[in-house]
Structure 1
Amino acid sequence: ARPITPTFGEASSPAVSPDGRWVAYVHSYEDEDVIAVVSSSGKGWPQHLARGRDFYMQPVWSPGGDRLAWVEWDHPNMPWDGSELRVAELAFPEGSLPAIARSEVVAGGADVAVLQPAFSPDGGALFYVSDETGWGHLYRHDLATGERSALTSGDCEYGTPSWGQGVATFAVLPSGRLIVTQQRQGFARLVLIEDGGEARELDIPSDYASFENPVASPTAERLAVLASGPAISPRLLVIDLEGGAPEVTTVRLSDPEAFPAAGLSLPEPVSWTNTAGSEVHGLYYPPASERFEDHGPPPLVVFVHGGPTDHVDAGWRPQIQFLASRGYAVLAVNYRGSSGAGRETMLALRGEWGVADVEDCRTGAEAMTARGLADGDRLAIMGGSAGGYTVLRSLQVHPGFYRAGVCYYGISNLFTLASDTHKFEARYLDSLVGPLPDGSSRYRERSPIFHAHTIADPIALFQGTEDRVVPRDQSDSLAATLRSRRVPHEYHVYEGEGHGWRKPETVDAFYTSVDRFLRRYLLG
């Protein structure tokens, strides 16, 4: 094997032309991103097809190889804030690489997110997801007439934030039919859209609740997809639609061992009203344990997802199942700013990170207590990365509300997060907190590291030595302040770990420590 792209910079999202001669890809070097094309033989130097925008994503060839489509956008936007879908007609000069003859933007804009371009099998149309109506829906753009039509509708999501290249929620079958993932209140299902536009749910014989990155066979009516459920660990499925009714084959399991049903919790979708008067959604997991029996409402752990532009769905969640198996109820909060509930909800965290998320977690715990689903005197909050930031802010803003907090590689300094991160997220905080330097006072006010002295409730901190997102010295400083003020705390540092745990021994040590810590402060 030998490289066919330059050894400097990074190449991503490669797309091979239908005739196999060319590879289009996104090339990133220093602060510039471009769409480039190179010969698949590796002979010759690549040529830039598109440049001048800050970001490019997911280049895709038309079946005839005469067009290329991609998504592009600029700072300070993230792709889910606003992006554009561009289609280019290609020219093929003799003896040269393909070049762009003409191009046009066919969808998206500064306040509309588009993603996942895919050509129809006959090359006459382009499919994509857009949130122009306030929800991520699937559209068809006719390349001959310019007409477009919506293929889905309703208050549900058919897209997801593009945190990286290759994210997909739908696939185009050889017949022109589409399979798309529909998300509603944390539960997903697969929907088949016929060539004429009729849609129906696929009858999949199992309790799956999450489907990721569907991929269609190029030659048969088959689909590969990653699937999981609250009691089903992730697995790779192949769904055959050749005979009409779907035939499902499990190709590979992430864990070959079946988990005992008695030790697993099935989530219930819940909602409540926050202090702003808007509705917040979440998933409530009741305790699922034969060993840990209690009388009355159970202790509750509020689980805060990362991102923060992300959400918790009802797919396989080992952290949550671990807690439920130990006798805790868990409330997974899709606070303001979460995806999966429409554009308005996703953008509701603009300028409010560290405030709105904190309040939505608190009001969620209060709602579960009022419904008899939680013991209000035994509440804890737990999260990592952006979720860890919410944990720290919650303990500072609402001292005494939670009996304990668990924070793993949590963000504590917004200034360093804004200045030291990679290009993709370099302006992310412009919308979440505000642009610098004008927002400096807000950054300081909401950075937990500057207010560590206000934390009085027990907290467990977990940190990797090689974390480049949250440098170790931030957690060291937090722990030192807690120690000087004699706040009950634990501080665990894992050698060689980054922003997330990779080593089995680290994962084991983490869960053992969390179990012991929560037992002490919620069950003790």
Structure 2
Amino acid sequence: MSPTSASEIISALLDLTAWTVFDVDPEGRILAGNDESGSMQLVEIAPDGTRTQLTALPSRCSGRYVPGTRRVVVQHDNGGDEQMQLSLLDIEPSAPPADLPAGLPADLPTGRAARLPATLVDLTPLVHDPAYKHDLADVSAESVVFLTNRRDGVDFDVVVHDLATGAETPLYDGGGYLVDAVASHDRRSVAITTLSSRPRSTQILVAGGEIATSPTTGTTGGHGTTSETPEPHTGTARPVAVTAADEHAHHIHVAWAAGDHALVMSSDHEREFAAVVRVRSGDGVPASAETDGTVWETLVAADDHDLEVVLSPDGSAMVVGHHQDGVTTLAVHEHDGTHRCDVTLPDDGVPTVIWAPDSSRFAVHLTASGDPGSIHLVDAATGGVSTLVDGRAQIPEGLPISLPTVHRVPTPDGEQIPCFVYRPAGTARTGDENDHAPYSTTGNAAGTTVAGASVVLVHGGPEGEANRLFSPVIQALAGAGFTVLVPNVRGSAGYGKRWVSLDDVDKRLDSVADLAALRAWLPELGLDADRSALWGGSYGGYMVLAGTTMQPDLWAAGVDIVGMSSLVTFLENTSEYRRAAREREYGSLEHDRDFLVTASPITYLDQLRAPLFVIHGANDPRVPLSEAEQIAAALADRGIRHELRVYHDEGHGLAKRANRKDAYPAAVEFLTEILGR
């Protein structure tokens, strides 16, 4: 029977299984993940489509194959605290013990793999210290490269762990907030991506040293070809700066070109939109960006949108993503940028690409507005697509799914805010889909009481982006009868370097002002501007609190999920390793305290009138629980309707289905009561 009531629709949406892809092995098995059990756990998909759940851990996890083995490096934390630990999982049964007692069944399962899906006790600790982070970066047959802040709790190092001996060697200890590290084909060097001092900017460094003690199999993403034996490690020599430390540029998706003579990446170096580039020195070796010998070669570029890139393990080809208005289309190119073939996926959405070790094919995880998550396999030579997991097949017949239309919302200062509009199921639109004609309802049974009401849902970041992917929250709100607006306010990524920079430090409140422009635009959609609420998580939660306190006459209610109520106390109490990275965007406690106070919602509590629904994880390392507690206390003191829900097994957001099914339906009902007629 098709779900018809708002509660049935929300429950059905939250029960849908989300998928992702982590790795592909030489035999064509895919290391995937899904949350069918309640949180994201590892699942292996065999070439014949057989699925085996590998883990059943208390919290979400991810992983990578150890090449040449039936082992997986599992990355997991505790209750969402993001203190990642690394463990080994043996997938296939180990040999039975020689002294197996007489009389036991001959087919008695033995070894750790006999207990799949594995729990924590079934994993072999690899790199464990719950007080610190250990982020998995690269895996080969002999070693694991990881990023850790265990030296002082703040600065990150790059460390290689020998899988045979357990010996660990630091490759980089120069400090900073590291984002990624990728080993070269010959395992002698790592390319490091670190946040620089400029907002929305990164720097690329190369650190040398022995990564493995024998010939290895591996390259970008841990896949590749056999290499020569590296020379002995010579210590953590000063890293080479491939890009300038003070440049306002964002370099991502870094990989080593074949032969390790250059780096390939997506970069907006000296341009508005990111292009696919190759960076090398004049003598063919990555070298200091401050030298005259650095050469930047543009391989693929577009004049009006960002490009992404995933290089194949052998460096012979690359998948290029064209990102426009929240969706990415794919094409395969040769290593020099020459177009090979387009890839036509079933839907327009947000793909994640993982190459197979032999570079003949790649797996794609795709989530789209109407697809909770599918997995496809693509032939790299032809672009042919075969579907391994069709996420759309699980959607119950009759479950209303809203697909967005794309708009630009004008602001008083002449800007145009990109915005996706999700209409309630059962509505029709008068006029052309490309104009601003009003909507008319057709009597959706689940949403008649909130017809004409709207929710503006703001993404996190702040340097994040709202994409056209599947969101149970958006679909639940639309299924309940709300029109949902999902904007990319100024400061959002995905629309060029200028747009993402328009909210830096003292421009923060210009982004908040975009909320007022969105509210003023609601009548263009035939909506009642007096019945509009804000919803957002993390930085989006800050925007909810900023809008309801700084624009008290505009918003009828808000749902704040792990948001910051004070930029001062947020920066004072966030994890130490995150503080410097956040200060570059929001402003520093030392130099910008007065502005941070001005930009903090809690400064304007005397103006707040809108009821608030507040959700927070007790283990949040990014936005401390105190941010939610202080806003809830202030609301209680002023007698304003509110609800605070704290989840003690969650961190920065809700990763577990049970908690989402507790919080989100209650939040939707909260808005329905306030905005309903």
Of residues 497, 501, 522, the one that matches 1:347 is 501
Asked if residue 187 in structure 1 is aligned to residue 327 in structure 2, the reply is yes
Alignment correspondent of 1:162: none
Alignment correspondent of 2:565: 412
Offset of 1:179 from its aligned partner? 0.5
- Secondary structure (helix, strand or coil) at the match of 2:242 reads strand
Which string of whole-angstrom CA distances, capped at 9 and with x for unpartnered residues, describes residues 57-92 of structure 1? 432233233443222455x446x3241343648699
Asked if residue 218 in structure 1 is aligned to residue 357 in structure 2, the reply is yes
Offset of 1:268 from its aligned partner? 1.3
Asked if residue 197 in structure 1 is aligned to residue 346 in structure 2, the reply is no
- 1:21-170 equivalences under 5 Å are 21-29=142-150, 30=152, 31-44=154-167, 46-74=168-196, 76-77=197-198, 80-86=200-206, 88=208, 96-97=232-233, 104-110=240-246, 111-132=248-269, 133-142=271-280, 144-145=283-284, 147-153=295-301, 154-159=303-308, 170=310
- Secondary structure (helix, strand or coil) at the match of 1:32 reads coil
C-alpha change, 1:426 and 1:119, in structure 2 (3 Å) is same
Alignment correspondent of 1:163: none
8 A Cα contact 1:237 1:251, kept in partner: yes
8 A Cα contact 2:325 2:494, kept in partner: yes
Offset of 1:41 from its aligned partner? 1.6
Distance 1:512 1:296 in 2: 15
Distance 2:447 2:149 in 1: 55
Offset of 1:311 from its aligned partner? 0.8
Alignment correspondent of 1:164: none
8 A Cα contact 1:108 1:114, kept in partner: no
**Stretch of structure 1 that moved more, 297-306 or 81-90:** 81-90
Distance 2:449 2:617 in 1: 38
- Secondary structure (helix, strand or coil) at the match of 1:436 reads coil
Alignment correspondent of 1:165: none
Distance 2:128 2:559 in 1: 44
What amino acid sits opposite 2:163 in the alignment?
A: S
Alignment correspondent of 2:290: none
C-alpha change, 1:22 and 1:276, in structure 2 (3 Å) is same
Alignment correspondent of 2:547: 394
Of residues 302, 327, 331, the one that matches 2:456 is 302
Offset of 1:229 from its aligned partner? 0.7
Alignment correspondent of 1:228: 367
User: What is the TM-score when the length of structure 2 is the normalising length?
Assistant: 0.68
What amino acid sits opposite 2:203 in the alignment?
A: S
C-alpha change, 1:185 and 1:108, in structure 2 (3 Å) is farther
Alignment correspondent of 2:25: none
Offset of 1:21 from its aligned partner? 4.3
Which string of whole-angstrom CA distances, capped at 9 and with x for unpartnered residues, describes residues 179-205 of structure 1? 122211112111222244233773424
Alignment correspondent of 2:470: 316
Distance 1:97 1:57 in 2: 23
C-alpha change, 1:411 and 1:218, in structure 2 (3 Å) is same
Consecutive unaligned residues of structure 1, counting only runs of 5 or more, are 160-168
Offset of 1:446 from its aligned partner? 2.5
8 A Cα contact 1:238 1:251, kept in partner: no
Offset of 1:177 from its aligned partner? 1.3
Distance 1:241 1:359 in 2: 46
Q: Percent identity?
A: 23
Distance 1:262 1:473 in 2: 38
Asked if residue 455 in structure 1 is aligned to residue 608 in structure 2, the reply is yes
Which string of whole-angstrom CA distances, capped at 9 and with x for unpartnered residues, describes residues 142-199 of structure 1? 565464321222221224xxxxxxxxx5232647111122211112111222244233
Offset of 1:424 from its aligned partner? 4.3
- Secondary structure (helix, strand or coil) at the match of 1:518 reads helix
8 A Cα contact 1:297 1:373, kept in partner: no
8 A Cα contact 1:202 1:246, kept in partner: no
Of residues 273, 279, 287, the one that matches 2:416 is 279
Consecutive unaligned residues of structure 2, counting only runs of 5 or more, are 1-87, 89-123, 214-228, 285-293, 427-443
Asked if residue 266 in structure 1 is aligned to residue 403 in structure 2, the reply is yes
8 A Cα contact 1:60 1:69, kept in partner: yes
Offset of 1:248 from its aligned partner? 2.2
Offset of 1:407 from its aligned partner? 1.5
What amino acid sits opposite 1:152 in the alignment?
A: V
Task: Please provide the CA RMSD for this pair.
Answer: 3.2
C-alpha change, 1:136 and 1:513, in structure 2 (3 Å) is same
Larger Rg: 2
Distance 1:500 1:303 in 2: 15
C-alpha change, 1:200 and 1:109, in structure 2 (3 Å) is farther
What amino acid sits opposite 2:329 in the alignment?
A: R
What amino acid sits opposite 1:86 in the alignment?
A: V
C-alpha change, 1:493 and 1:56, in structure 2 (3 Å) is closer
Distance 2:633 2:132 in 1: 39
Asked if residue 518 in structure 1 is aligned to residue 658 in structure 2, the reply is no
Of residues 489, 498, 508, the one that matches 2:661 is 508
- Secondary structure (helix, strand or coil) at the match of 2:373 reads strand
**Stretch of structure 1 that moved more, 427-436 or 336-345:** 427-436
Distance 1:65 1:464 in 2: 40
Offset of 1:414 from its aligned partner? 1.5
- Secondary structure (helix, strand or coil) at the match of 1:510 reads helix
Alignment correspondent of 1:381: 534
C-alpha change, 1:233 and 1:456, in structure 2 (3 Å) is same
**Stretch of structure 1 that moved more, 394-403 or 118-127:** 118-127
